[in-house]
Amino acid sequence: WMMDGPFRRPFVESVRPAGRDSNGIPELVRRDSFRIPNVTCRSWCIANADTGELLLWNKPAERLQPASLTKVLTALVVMELAERLKQTARADFYKRKCVISTLASSFAFWTPEYGWNNGTNAKLKAGESYTVKQLLYALLLPSGNDAAVALAEHFGLAFPPAPATGRPRDEMWEVGGPVDRFIGQMNRVARRLGMVSDDPPTSVFVSPHGMNHEGNMSCAADLIRFSMAAMRVKLFCKIVATTTYRVPVSEADGRYEVKVWTNTNQLLRSKLLYFYDGVKTGWIPNAHDAKEWGCLVTRVGRIMAPPAHAAGL
């Protein structure tokens, strides 16, 4: 972060809970007197990418819609399944073929059965076939809602059914169906990785894509933990640091179309490219009384700071 020109490194003591807010969520407070940078975000935090220790923050436990940051957990669920099946699978998990359903395609195109679920997409058409690896690129670069649903449909039955009651739901998903089971696994992984609060939970997911839904909630501190877990997977790191990905797709008439997916993270195309290596952007309209609601998780590789005796420090 930058304040008044030079980069500054604060002395920050350990984070500790300080009671609970009106929603019963533990409040995290700063124990030092370091001045917080002038940031316009409603909720944010800066953490050590190796240890997860929070360094600076403002309302890190406030429950807000994470938008497409939800897809970090979607990808992590798929990659953990790949690791689990690595010993028993006969073929490379990431080379498995997934056929795009009409439901998944409805998040990119209008369909008679489902209409058009408008949002960011990878232009996946019903009947097309992609490998798991290609769908992960479609999920994390153009932030494809269609790719999120395709992955959930394909792998959801590998997980046990989610609890039928006691949690928010999106009526779009069949109870006990593959997408519903996949979402249940997302919430299990979130609890296992640890949240600021389990009761009530600071993170609850009702979809694999994160489109506008009042039940799909998380907080900045939780998203740090989820992102750190995902960034421990080499393939995830490689994908989120990629600016552009091309994939050939076979059309019904036998011709090939080359689809080009561009990363929504503009930091990767900025002059600060060498400082950043991902992670994910998110955006939804008309959430939390905002016409445009945006969010971002990013990892900074290294910041060169002036020595402690430099003028003005």
Question: Sign of dihedral through CA atoms 107, 111, 113, 116?
Answer: positive
Average pLDDT over residues 76-104: 89
Q: Output the pLDDT for position 40.
A: 76
- Tell me the pairing of strands 44-47 and 54-58: antiparallel
Q: For residue 34, what are the β-bridge partners? A: none
Q: Output the pLDDT for position 203.
A: 96
- Which is more confident, 91 or 124? 124
Average pLDDT over residues 107-129: 88
State pLDDT tens for residues 285-298.
766 666 666 788 88
State pLDDT tens for residues 234-263.
999 999 999 999 999 877 667 788 999 999
**Cα–Cα dist 161/286, whole Å:** 32
pLDDT surpassing 70 at residue 217: yes
- Which is more confident, 228 or 86? 228
Q: Output the pLDDT for position 147.
A: 98
- Which is more confident, 138 or 312? 138
* Phi (first) and psi of residue 6, to 5 degrees: -80, 155
- Which is more confident, 34 or 268? 268
- Which is more confident, 14 or 230? 230
- Whole-number mean pLDDT of the chain? 82
Which residues does 79 contact at the CB level (< 8 Å), separation at least 6?
A: 136, 230, 233, 235, 236
Burial of residue 111 (number of CB atoms within 10 Å: 0-12, 13-18, 19+): middle
Q: Output the pLDDT for position 278.
A: 82
**Cα–Cα dist 222/194, whole Å:** 7
pLDDT surpassing 70 at residue 70: yes
**Cα–Cα dist 228/222, whole Å:** 10
Q: Output the pLDDT for position 145.
A: 96
State pLDDT tens for residues 157-208.
999 998 776 778 888 899 999 999 999 999 999 999 999 998 889 999 999 9
pLDDT surpassing 60 at residue 20: no
Give the angle subtended at the CA of 195 by the CAs of 190 and 199, to the nearest 5°. 105
DSSP result, the chain: -BSSSSB--------EEEEE-TTSPEEEE--S-PPPP----SSEEEE-TTT--EEEEESTT--B--GGGHHHHHHHHHHHHHHHHTTT-SS-GGG-EEEPPHHHHTTTS-BTTTB---S----PPTT-EEEHHHHHHHHHSS--HHHHHHHHHHHGGGSPPPPSSSS---TTSPTTSHHHHHHHHHHHHHHHH--S-BTTBS-B-S-SS--S-TT-BB-HHHHHHHHHHHTTSHHHHHHHT-SEEEEEEE-TTS-EEEEEEE-S-GGGGSTTGGGEEEEEEEEEEEETTEEEEEEEEEEE-------TTSTT-
pLDDT surpassing 70 at residue 39: yes
Closest to 155 measured CA to CA, from 122, 134, 138, 180: 180
pLDDT band at 57 (very low <50, low <70, confident <90, very high): confident
**Cα–Cα dist 167/183, whole Å:** 11
pLDDT band at 284 (very low <50, low <70, confident <90, very high): confident
Q: Output the pLDDT for position 257.
A: 87
Q: Output the pLDDT for position 41.
A: 82
**Cα–Cα dist 70/216, whole Å:** 9
Q: Output the pLDDT for position 171.
A: 84
pLDDT band at 29 (very low <50, low <70, confident <90, very high): very low
> pTM for this structure?
0.83
**Cα–Cα dist 31/12, whole Å:** 7
